[in-house]
Amino acid sequence: MSIEVAQKRTFPLLLLHLLFLVLPTVALMYVFIGFFNESRSLITAGSFWQKASFGLGMTASYILYYYRARFLITYPILLIVLWIIYEGLKLIPGEFDMFFVVVRYKLFAVTLAFAVLIGFLLARWKRFPIVFAVVLLAITIVIRADNTDYFTTVDAFQLLMYRMIMPVLLYLLYMVFMAESLRDLLELKARRIFGMLGRLALFLILISAGFYATGEYLRPSLRLVQEKFGGAKGDSAGGGVDTNGMLKKNPNDGKHSMRDYAQMKNNQGSGGKKLLFCAYLPNFIGPDSFPNPIYFTSYHLTYYDTAHERFERDSLVPMDDVFDPKPNRIPLFKTLTDTSVIRKGMGNKLRRSVTCDIYYKEMSTEDFTSPSTAYSCQPITVEEEFRKEFPFAMKTKSWISELNSAYFVYNTDNKDIRKFQEQRFEVLREVKNYNRFDKKLLDYYTTNPKGPLFDSIADLAKEIAKDAKTPIDKIIAVRDYFLSKDEFGEPNFVYSLNVGKKDDPNIANARMLRTFLFKEKRGYCTYYAGASLFMLRALGVPTRFTVGFLTEDRADKNKGWYWFYSNQGHAWIQVYFPEYGWLDFDMTVSNTDSRESPAPDGTPPLQPPKAWLMAEGVAAADADTVKKSLQVKFKKGIFYDRDFNLENEQQFEFDVVNAKVSDEKGPRKLKEIHAGDSVMIISYADGSKNVPRPVREMSAEAQVMRAIQPVIGDEVRIKAIPEKKKPEKEQQKKITDTFSWWTLLWGIGGFAVLLVFIFFLFPTLCYLWYKRKAAHAKTPKDRAYWVYRFSMFTYNQLGLVRDENETALEYARDKVDKNYASGFEDFMRIYLKIKYTNMPPDTQELEAISRYSPAFTAKAFARYPLHKRIAKFLNTALTNRFLKRPADEKKTV
Amino acid sequence: MINETTPSAATGTAPINKLALLTDNIGKIIKGKHLEVQYVITALLAKGHILLEDNPGSGKTTMAKALAQSIAGGMHGGTHINFKRIQFTPDLLPMDLIGSHIFDDIKKDFVFKKGPLFTNILLADEINRASPKVQSALLECMAENQISIGEKTYQLDKLFFTIATQNPIEMEGTYPLPAAQLDRFFMKITFGYVSEEAEMDIYTNYNTINSIDKTISQVLTYEDITGMQAEAENVFIHEEIIRGVKNIVWGTRRHPDIQLGASTRSGIIFLKCLRAFALVNRRNYVVEDDIKHLVHVVLHHRLIFKNKEAAKTALGQIAERELDRLIKLRIAG
């Protein structure tokens, strides 16, 4: 009877929609676009404009389609217009700039097209927000799976949870809760509006209660997570880094960390002789040249915070090329690479990629350090013998300038070194100025704080470097100033750890620098670095403060091997040279007392043997405990330093007589390896073994195939769960995170399945409920009612739907009894009599009622085969129709 | 419709059992209009009047005559029931209905000569063809059950039932009844065309139908009818049904497309009709189906709708909503 009524469209209603439907969606997309941009570094161009164009496009399209514009006409027109503009832009001459404009325009056009589409769907499709949220969740998870690098550098759990999943879930809940009632709001009646506001308030209360409850419930585990993930909290959002916090970072393995080794002030004390790590850095300049130890960089500080009086790295760092993974959280032999660091380093001239092996001893495995600009990190195994001393090792790759040798940066009078340095200064003299350098970057890296002290430093710098024209000359001028001698031939500046007050911070602040520069002229590395930073910046040379390790060449016995003791914690500056990138300069004067004193030390007798073969695969059979051999099927692995990926899975026999078997928890026995277990088998290139030598010209795959079986395996690592079929990427994901993504996925999936289940089970649940009610009713009137409802429900579910203008009695007579001849009409008469009179039913009627329910069920059901009956009982739409109330009186059109 | 009146039920002695005879009797003439026959009887038992509206030739007059014939004319003991028929024409005057004073030569005085209104069952044919003056004269009688002429007031019989027929108001030569007068009719029913089978039946048995006098005999007496009228007032009506009626009446006042909603009097009339209708269906209690069957015939002609579309749907929406409530309602006890 009722006529489907078109929705009324009024401006106040539109405003409500914009506020309660569009605004949340735009907000979600704001978050999502930010997230998407961060995880896809390719399209970082102007995320603000993306967000803005998306928001405006969506709002406009919502309004347009709210007023029933024809989508099939307007949308193609939009696409065509966008395409024409695009083609037009391509025609405009112009080289590089134009290319960028076109790329940006493309991005804008795609964003806009999407925004309009989403606006349309939001305006027209009632259930769209739900679908949308699910799609976003899926995209989030795909991005996450796709981009392990990104998510291991920053904290995965927090990032995904707080940045994407929580917002999307909130949005979903909000839409489910609000959208429907908003769309049903046809007229702006005060009652309805208050109802809606009440609903909103209820939603907020529920959500906050939910958060609170979850928080309370999860508090212990959250704390655990906090402890595990706490360190990365700062960088996860790319925000400001509290350097003090970083220095005090509490490693969870009880080893020395930045907190200890950055105590540059006391690094000559008794506690300063601990071996933190040693590194193998092959000479990359040339075999006959100087050995080239390079300073090991840990992090940079880029600006001076006058409020806290300390150096900081703030969130505004342009082209931040810091690569700061947590090595201990990367799975063994997995490589974490962030090549964007190379791009952000902005220097390719005379640069090359250099590999460096770092063996951790006392240093916390949470901390990463590497020469120059690192971009890759891969934990590697340490051969059994060495593991006692070096529990952890990693292979890093750095983008290193040939100009960046420690000898090049040593601030010393040594004539040989000075000569060596001069050659390189000549190269750098080609850089005359920073005119072609990005203005914003230059500003950032040459800005000093305001204040009399900084002015006086600037004045001093200008005085020192009044003759210097090129940046390198300015640097040399500053260096020479620190090396200058007074009329008695005594150096003006001396190295001293005994300066300042006891509670002065490690890294010199402005006050300490004033004392250093203008009064005492005594200090240690951070004094020199800090002072030269301000001086060079005053001279317009982009400079940053670098903290890391001084590399001392003691490599007489083992060429290329360097030892790092805790007293080698150091600070110096890096200066940017266009095309050459950031180069190290150490302004600290030689410590005349102790430069030579640290004796060459506990040099290991032999280099740790390196793994020549690492195969990752599945045990083909249980380990043969008699022959002590193990059959392993594998496809991927590492051959010397090269990854290989065989075309077909190979089965190798490994001799595991001396192999150490272990899993994540600890040592295991050989017999515990079973067929199907995922294993990683490692063989070290021990001199006593017959192992193939690496041949540079041949592919790693071919060389692996040449290996003679049985291969002697030195280590077998069993993976926790046999993961036969899971793709490699997923395995990686699993191991990467302490937080198991699979648990989350299973949880979400399980929940979804449960929802679907409930959805389809709903009719059956209703049926059982009515049945139970009918069986347990106490008074005859109740009993009659529930039998009546039960019967009505069942017939409805069997497909007999009562029309809106049909009474129950008519329904019984015209539909039920016509189809099933079950005598429902007679029952209905008795029921109606009981219902509308106060007379108690007589015994005959009572009997009829109690007889009715089972009898009719049997009759009605008997007509359908089981599968049809099941199908009918899965039809939730029918149940819905049965339970729904008639619509409000709608205004007829 | 609840079809409970089977011929076998007609053997009872109580007046209510004779209702079956009445419907059967009328059914011989009026084919395929079972529900409409019930409405007419309902109006009779509710002490109301009924207005039949339809195109000419749809059996309105036949219906009225058949009813009258069934309860009047014959002499089965008890009081005689009078039946009169007036054909309304534009030149009809009020005195043609109520009667006039005529000079009596013998008494040398004016004596009142009673008009056709002084009867038990009145068939007012084509009521909307008469002038408004005549219409109001008739309607006064219907409302007050009395006639005032000069200073004298003549009481009509307590069994006074009017069956008015009218042609659809759009037709030419009619004076539409104003809303206030329509309100006095308990029900307005429309006949509509009969089904094809019924039509065939009518043609086949035309001779029987045509000779109403022969076919129809008196089956009910005056006392039967007054007895049933008294019984109708005692039909039990549940509080929830009353609430349903109230909700519907209020619904018509709230509905955005209804200009003039139902009056309180119409609610009272509705309840009276519900009781009578229950009785007609041989029940002594009212059920939700009764509401469904009566809501349109009792209320529709009292409402003024804002547009034609609303006239078709608005009342149905209100009733559907209320019926849905009643159907799902659980009355505890």
pLDDT tens, position by position, A768-786: 888 888 888 788 788 888 8
Tokens, residue B236: 């039990």
Q: Which of A15-19, A43-47, A501-505 has the lowest mean pLDDT?
A: A43-47
Chain B residue numbers with beta carbons less than 8 Å from the beta carbon of A832 are: 287-289
Are B313 and A892 a contacting pair at CB < 8 A? yes
CA-based nearest distance A192→chain B, Å: 17
Residue of B nearest to A886 (CA): B321
Is A675 or B37 the better-scoring residue by pLDDT?
A: B37
- Which of B324, B325, B326, B329 best tests the A interface by mutation, with the highest count of A CBs <10 A? B324
Q: Is A289 on the interface with B (CB under 8 A)?
A: no
Q: Is B236 on the interface with A (CB under 8 A)?
A: yes
Asked whether residue B277 carries a pLDDT value surpassing 90, the answer given is yes
CA-based nearest distance B254→chain A, Å: 10
Residue of A nearest to B289 (CA): A807
Residue A281 and residue A356 in contact, taking contact as beta carbons nearer than 8 Å: yes
CA-based nearest distance B21→chain A, Å: 23
pLDDT for res B242: 93
| Distance between CA atoms of residues A110 and A122, nearest Å | 18
- Write the CB contacts of B139 (distance below 8 Å, at least 6 apart in sequence): B181, B184
Residue A351's Cβ-count burial label (10 Å; 0-12, 13-18, 19+) is buried
Strands (E), chain B: 50-53, 83-87, 99-104, 109-114, 121-125, 146-149, 152-155, 161-166, 187-190, 258-260, 304-305
pLDDT tens, position by position, A461-480: 888 888 888 888 888 888 88
Q: Is A886 on the interface with B (CB under 8 A)?
A: yes
Length of chain A equals 893
Are B313 and A1 a contacting pair at CB < 8 A? yes
Mean of pLDDT over chain A:
75
| Distance between CA atoms of residues A267 and A263, nearest Å | 6
First to last CA, chain B: 28
Give the dihedral sign, CA A601/A602/A603/A609: negative
Pairing mode of beta strands B50-53, B187-190: parallel
Are B288 and A808 a contacting pair at CB < 8 A? yes
- Which of B240, B289, B315 best tests the A interface by mutation, with the highest count of A CBs <10 A? B289
First to last CA, chain A: 14
Query: Mean pLDDT, to the nearest integer, of A81-90?
Result: 86
Are B256 and A891 a contacting pair at CB < 8 A? yes
Burial A802-834 (b: 16+ CB within 10 A, else e): beeebbbbbbbbebbbeebebbbbebbbbbbbb
Residue A317 and residue A310 in contact, taking contact as beta carbons nearer than 8 Å: no
Which of A1, A810, A835 shows the shortest C-beta gap to B316? A1
Are B324 and A781 a contacting pair at CB < 8 A? no
pLDDT tens, position by position, A174-195: 887 777 667 666 666 677 777 7
pLDDT tens, position by position, B50-84: 998 888 777 777 887 888 778 765 554 556 778 88
Number of CB atoms found within 10 A of residue B182's CB:
14
pTM over 0.90: no
**3-class SS at A711?**
strand
Residue A837 and residue A829 in contact, taking contact as beta carbons nearer than 8 Å: no
Residue B294 and residue B277 in contact, taking contact as beta carbons nearer than 8 Å: yes
Are B321 and A886 a contacting pair at CB < 8 A? yes
pLDDT for res B249: 94
Confidence of residue A248 (pLDDT cuts 50, 70, 90): very low
Are B331 and A835 a contacting pair at CB < 8 A? yes
C-alpha to C-alpha distances, A672 to A2, A724, A735, B301, nearest whole angstrom: 73, 17, 21, 92
Confidence of residue B244 (pLDDT cuts 50, 70, 90): very high
Asked whether residue A890 carries a pLDDT value surpassing 60, the answer given is no
Number of CB atoms found within 10 A of residue A463's CB:
10
Q: Is B199 on the interface with A (CB under 8 A)?
A: no
- Write the CB contacts of A484 (distance below 8 Å, at least 6 apart in sequence): A491, A492, A493
- Write the CB contacts of A31 (distance below 8 Å, at least 6 apart in sequence): A163, A164, A167
Q: Is B324 on the interface with A (CB under 8 A)?
A: yes
Helix (H) / strand (E) containing A320: none
DSSP at A313:
B
Residue A347 and residue A581 in contact, taking contact as beta carbons nearer than 8 Å: yes
Residue A332 and residue A614 in contact, taking contact as beta carbons nearer than 8 Å: no
| Distance between CA atoms of residues A156 and A205, nearest Å | 29
Confidence of residue B7 (pLDDT cuts 50, 70, 90): very low
Are B333 and A1 a contacting pair at CB < 8 A? no
Closest by CA to A123, choosing from A215, A216, A17, A201, is A17
Is A372 or A222 the better-scoring residue by pLDDT?
A: A372
- ipTM score over 0.95, yes or no: no
pLDDT tens, position by position, A513-555: 888 888 888 888 888 888 888 888 888 888 888 888 877 766 5
